[in-house]
Amino acid sequence: MPYASSIPILGDFLKLTFIENLGMAFGIHVSNKEYLTLFTVIATLGLLFYLYKIRKESFWLRMPLSLILAGAIGNLINRVFFGIMFGYAPLLKGNFC
């Protein structure tokens, strides 16, 4: 699907449009992308350590933290490799160049 193109789902009322968020959450602009990637690495390692530490606690405590960790790992993979995979950004600057 080309960038900025749309596929109508319910006529003009509902369309699926391909765009990319070049910042972080809600389009907030970040000037130094490497710091955001570094923060994501630190947060991911912190969540891994904390989940290991509470591995015998309630499932209902571990489950939401595991979902947050999965999201952080997905964002990290996106930031590190996405630009290289599609050839528009160097390592560590994917999806927000």
d(CA 52, CA 62): 10
Can you give the residue ranges of every domain in the chain? 30-85
Residue 19: its pLDDT value, please?
83
Q: pLDDT tens, position by position, for the chain (97 residues)? A: 788 899 999 998 999 998 877 667 777 777 777 788 888 889 999 999 999 999 999 999 999 999 999 998 988 888 788 777 777 777 766 665 4
- Could you tell me the pTM of the whole model? 0.67
CA distances from 34 to 22, 40, 76 (A): 14, 10, 11
